[in-house]
A and B are shown apart, each in its own frame.
Chain A
């Protein structure tokens, strides 16, 4: 399977614990995105990498959230001291720029569902 893969698919944790999600993008894609989706809403942008560089972070991403993409391959999203409001589906997507265009379609993974008790 050459799609975007995420793990774990489900994580249940207690408030205050740390959690880490991993995303393996499509290998030839240089861009990687993290989005968060809550029930009945569209995905919300969290952060974005081009290769290993984190180029933009949303104001939604508090200091408890950190993302990395070492060597421009897989990415991790860590949430420290989780709160009940962090419960959501965390979606990873990868993309590459279309020729002669400054955009590209996003290929989403299945997501990692976080439940904070």
Chain B
């Protein structure tokens, strides 16, 4: 089942912050975050493994609440280059306790627009 992302769209001024949420109804092994600009391939941002780790990448960080099966992506002091569609991709525990080996179920995406 597809994870649910919220909000569907965000409009920001340069320098403002944003939070994008991703919620799953299934147990998760990991959550991936990708950004896709119009007409381009999705680009990897970060992976969060179960354990509630918060990963950072410059001014973009994320958290993963394994018990609630939720992840949030935090964009701080947004830049024009942050504009694009953000997707979370979830990876569930596979057969025999393993993982689905990179088979991701993506959310519907959150469109982020940053204006000067």
Contacts and interface: CB of A to CB of B under 8 A. Distances in A.
A102 B101 contact: yes
A102 B107 contact: no
Contacts, number: 72
Interface of B: 2, 29-30, 32, 34, 40-44, 47, 49, 87, 89, 91, 98-109
A104 B108 contact: no
Contact of A108 (B42, B99, B103): B42
Main secondary structure on A side of the interface with B: loop
Closest 9 CB pairs of A and B: A42-B106, A108-B41, A105-B44, A102-B99, A42-B87, A108-B42, A103-B30, A95-B102, A43-B106
A31 B103 CA distance: 10
Interface residues of A, number: 27
A108 B43 contact: yes
A106 interface: yes
Contact of A103 (B2, B99, B108): B99
B31 to A, nearest CB: 10
